């Protein structure tokens, strides 16, 4: 079982929330294991997942909210965490700590202070995170800078598009909703005046997409999202045969899409055929999709979005089931993933099989079905 804690500032002092778990959820929803209740944080914003050994990852579930690691916008769904890594989620910054995690690489950037956390401390077992004063935000914003309201609106748009509230029942200490607003005598220094400018610039960079590096801490092992969607290898005799194969696979892709409701794996099969079509075209020396394949881009983007959403939802359900030790449910989710991504070289299929092997190595994989 992994052991780690999250540090945050309250009342001018660093507080801790400790966890003994292989995964926790972070978000605005009340069912989250670590709650950050502010419109700039998505209901299901992120997971912290123990990958085995000393490896921890931040799994980002939010598409609209601001997410950064050590002051740099996160451009991949999964980012490795080191002991002392600063995590910015919306308006808040927390610090990940674990004796099991490796130290941060030398030269890595880091936030010297916690940002956006209030100063109130509740006398009960939990701690309250107070919202940063809105007046301070307005003073920091220039005419051309994205406001916190716009960041919050991006999170709301994401939720309106289909984000579901986490259903897991928390077994861990929770940080409860801050009750105090417009407190008299609030110390602006605790608000971290620089956050409004710095964090919104991170949001701008994140929205723009950034470069390939994006300033994210480099990791030795590529995250799932950075891997190739599926292994594609084609060969043909000449240009004419390559074009013929491309057309044939394009038509097969359209057929799979028409029948995606009939069989679970047809959506992925159609997506894979589109990639094969593109590979044959490139083999023929054609590097742009020809006009006669006018549905290629639309179908490709539609399929990729649905497949990504399916994978994201499945991982969330898997980690929630893991928290509740529902091993049969975990197995069923992995089986479901392999059915949706039937090609064994698909990154999602490989991820599911890796989780299955991990469960078997821990002796928690159910051998029988009810």
Is residue 264 pLDDT above 50, yes or no?
yes
Question: What is the pLDDT at residue 12?
Answer: 74
pLDDT digits (tens, 9 = 90+) for 92-133: 889 999 999 998 887 554 444 555 443 322 323 233 444 444
Q: Which two tokens stand for residue 125?
A: 């077992």
Compute CA distances 93 → 69, 113, 118, 232, whole Å.
9, 9, 11, 41
pLDDT interval class at 51 (50, 70, 90): confident
Which residues, at least 6 apart from 39, have a Cβ–Cβ distance to it below 8 Å?
A: 28, 90, 148, 152, 155, 156
The number of beta carbons lying within 10 Å of the beta carbon of residue 56 is 25
Question: What is the pLDDT at residue 111?
Answer: 47
Helix spans in the chain (H):
134-140, 148-160, 188-191, 193-208, 239-258, 266-283, 296-323, 327-340, 347-362
Q: How far is CA 365 from the centre of its chain?
A: 26
Cα separation, 349 vs 202, whole angstroms: 33
Minimum mean pLDDT range among 14-23, 199-208, 242-251, 252-261: 199-208
* pLDDT > 90 fraction of the chain, expressed in percent and rounded: 33
Cα separation, 290 vs 202, whole angstroms: 37
The number of beta carbons lying within 10 Å of the beta carbon of residue 222 is 12
Cα separation, 299 vs 248, whole angstroms: 16
Cα separation, 14 vs 342, whole angstroms: 48
Angle at 220 between CA 214 and CA 223, to 5 degrees: 65
pLDDT interval class at 240 (50, 70, 90): very high
pLDDT interval class at 316 (50, 70, 90): confident
Partners of 67 in beta bridges: 89
Cα separation, 290 vs 124, whole angstroms: 65
Mean pLDDT of the chain: 74
Domains, the chain, ordered by start: 3-223 (2.60.200.20), 227-362 (no CATH)
168-183 burial string, b = 16+ CB within 10 Å, else e? bebeebbbbbbeeeee
Which residues, at least 6 apart from 135, have a Cβ–Cβ distance to it below 8 Å?
A: none
Q: Sort strands 23-27 and 34-35 into parallel, antiparallel or unpaired.
A: parallel
184 exposure class (CB count in 10 Å sphere: 0-12, 13-18, 19+): exposed
Question: What is the pLDDT at residue 282?
Answer: 94
Q: Which two tokens stand for residue 144?
A: 């051309």
Q: Which two tokens stand for residue 22?
A: 């292989």
pLDDT digits (tens, 9 = 90+) for 134-191: 333 333 333 333 445 555 555 555 555 444 433 333 333 333 333 333 334 444 443 3
Asked whether 114 and 84 are in contact (CB, 8 A), the reply is: no
Helices (H) and strands (E) in the chain, counts: 9, 13
3-state secondary structure of 333: helix
Question: What is the pLDDT at residue 288?
Answer: 94
């Amino acid at each position: 079982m992994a052991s780690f804690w999250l540090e945050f500032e309250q009342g001018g002092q660093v507080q801790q929330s400790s966890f003994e778990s292989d995964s926790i959820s972070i978000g605005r929803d009340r069912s989250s294991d670590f709650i950050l209740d502010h419109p700039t944080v998505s209901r299901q914003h992120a997971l912290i997942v123990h990958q085995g050994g000393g490896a921890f990852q931040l799994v980002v579930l939010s598409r609209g909210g601001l997410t950064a690691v050590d002051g740099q916008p996160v451009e991949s769904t999964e980012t490795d965490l080191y002991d002392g890594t600063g995590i910015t989620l919306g308006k808040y910054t927390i610090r990940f700590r674990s004796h099991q995690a490796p130290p941060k690489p030398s030269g890595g950037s880091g936030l010297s202070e916690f940002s956006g956390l209030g100063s109130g401390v509740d006398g009960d077992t939990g701690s309250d995170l107070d919202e940063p004063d809105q007046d301070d935000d307005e003073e920091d914003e220039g005419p051309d800078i994205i406001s916190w309201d716009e960041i919050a609106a991006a999170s709301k748009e994401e939720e309106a598009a289909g984000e579901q509230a986490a259903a897991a029942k928390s077994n861990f200490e929770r940080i409860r909703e801050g009750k105090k607003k417009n407190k008299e005598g609030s110390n602006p220094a605790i608000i971290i005046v620089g956050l409004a400018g710095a964090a919104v610039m991170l949001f701008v960079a994140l929205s723009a997409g950034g470069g390939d590096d994006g300033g994210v801490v480099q990791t030795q092992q590529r995250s799932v999202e950075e891997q190739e969607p599926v292994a594609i290898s084609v060969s043909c005799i000449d240009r004419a045969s390559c074009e013929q194969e491309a057309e044939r696979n394009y038509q097969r892709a359209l057929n799979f899409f028409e029948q995606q409701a009939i069989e679970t794996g047809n959506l992925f099969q159609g997506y894979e055929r589109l990639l094969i079509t593109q590979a044959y075209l490139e083999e023929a020396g054609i590097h742009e999709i020809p006009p006669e394949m006018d549905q290629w881009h639309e179908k490709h983007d539609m399929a990729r979005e649905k497949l990504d959403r399916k994978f994201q939802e499945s991982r969330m359900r898997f980690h929630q089931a893991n928290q509740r030790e529902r091993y049969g449910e975990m197995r069923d989710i992995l089986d479901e993933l392999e059915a949706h991504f039937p090609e064994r070289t698909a990154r999602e299929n490989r991820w599911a099989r890796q989780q299955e092997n991990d469960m078997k190595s821990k002796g928690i994989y159910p051998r029988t079905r009810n």
